[in-house]
Amino acid sequence: MSRIIIITTSLRAKSNSDILAEQLLAGAKDAGHDAELISLKGKEIRFCIGCLACQKTQRCIQKDDAIAIADKVLHADTLVFVTPIYYYEMSGQMKTLLDRLNPLYSADYRFRSVYMLSTAAEDEDFVPEKAVSGLQGWVDCFEKAELTGSLFCGGLTAGGEAAKAEAHLKAAYEFGRALR
Ligand SMILES: Cc1cc2nc3c(=O)[nH]c(=O)nc-3n(C[C@H](O)[C@H](O)[C@H](O)COP(=O)(O)O)c2cc1C
C-alpha cells in the first residue's frame, strides 16, 4: 500500500480533469492504496520569489496554502499531477505549485513515483508532450524519484464533457489502479 497524493490543478467549475481525477482516486483506493485528492480550487498559492531561504530551512517564507500541500507531498510515496493542457503546456497553477515545492529539494522527501494525467480539447498524441517534458524536468531534480507514467485524455472541450467520455473514465480508473 502506498500513500498517494493526487493534485488536481484546474480552477474551472465542472472541470474535466477533476472528473478524471475522481476516477483515478477511486482506482487507487480500490487497489488498496491510501489515496487523497487535493484540488487547487480556492487555494492561495503565490509565485515563488526565488529567495532560496527554503534550502536552509526546508520551509517557504510565504505563508499560504502551498505550505500544507508541500507537507503532504513530503510524506507521500507517490504523486499524481492532474492538469488541463494550456497552450501545449501544463497549467500555470501547476507550474506555480511545482516551483513552490522547492523546499522539498533539500529535504528528506519520501516520494519515488510521479505520474501525470492531462486533458485537452485536441486529441493528437503530441498535445501533452511539452507538459510531460516540463514535469520530467521537475522530477529530474528529485533524484530519488522517477516520472513513472502519464495518461492523456484528449477531445474534451466544454466543462463536464469528461463525465460522458466512457473510454477516458475507464482509462483514468485503470491508471489509478495501476499506480505504485
Ligand atoms: C488558457 C487555455 C489554453 C488552452 N490551450 C489548449 C491547447 O493548447 N490545446 C488543447 O487541445 N486545448 C487547450 N485548451 C482546452 C483545455 O485543455 C480543455 O478545455 C480541457 O478539457 C480543460 O480541462 P478542465 O476542464 O479540467 O479545466 C486550453 C484552454 C484554456 C482555458
pTM above threshold 0.85: yes
Q: How far, in Å, from the CA of 106 to the mean position of ligand 1?
A: 34
Helices (H) and strands (E) in the chain, counts: 6, 5
DSSP character string of 123-151: --TTTTHHHHHHHHHHHHTSTT-EEEEEE
Ligand 1 atom at minimal distance to the Cα of residue 160: 25
**CB distance 116 to 97 below 8 Å:** no
The residue whose C-alpha atom lies closest to atom 2 belonging to ligand 1 is 86
The residue whose C-alpha atom lies closest to atom 8 belonging to ligand 1 is 87
Determine the residue of 20, 85, 89, 90 to mutate for testing ligand 1's pocket, defined as the one with the most ligand atoms within 8 A of the Cβ atom.
85
Sheet bearing 34-39, strands edge to edge: 34-39, 3-8, 78-84, 113-119, 146-153
User: Residues near ligand 1 with C-beta < 6 Å?
Assistant: 10, 12, 15-18, 84-88, 119-122, 127, 156-157, 159
Burial of 6: CB neighbours in 10 Å, binned 0-12, 13-18, 19+: buried
Ligand 1 atom at minimal distance to the Cα of residue 88: 8
Q: Give the number of domains in the chain.
A: 1
- Return averaged pLDDT per consecutive 10 residues of the chain, 180 residues in all: 98 98 98 98 98 95 98 98 99 98 97 98 98 98 98 98 98 98
* Domain residue limits at 8: 3-177
Determine the residue of 86, 125, 132, 157 to mutate for testing ligand 1's pocket, defined as the one with the most ligand atoms within 8 A of the Cβ atom.
86
The residue whose C-alpha atom lies closest to atom 4 belonging to ligand 1 is 86
**pLDDT value at residue 158:** 98
The runs of H, that is alpha helices, within 38-165 are 54-57, 66-74, 92-100, 129-140
Residue 23's CATH number: 3.40.50.360
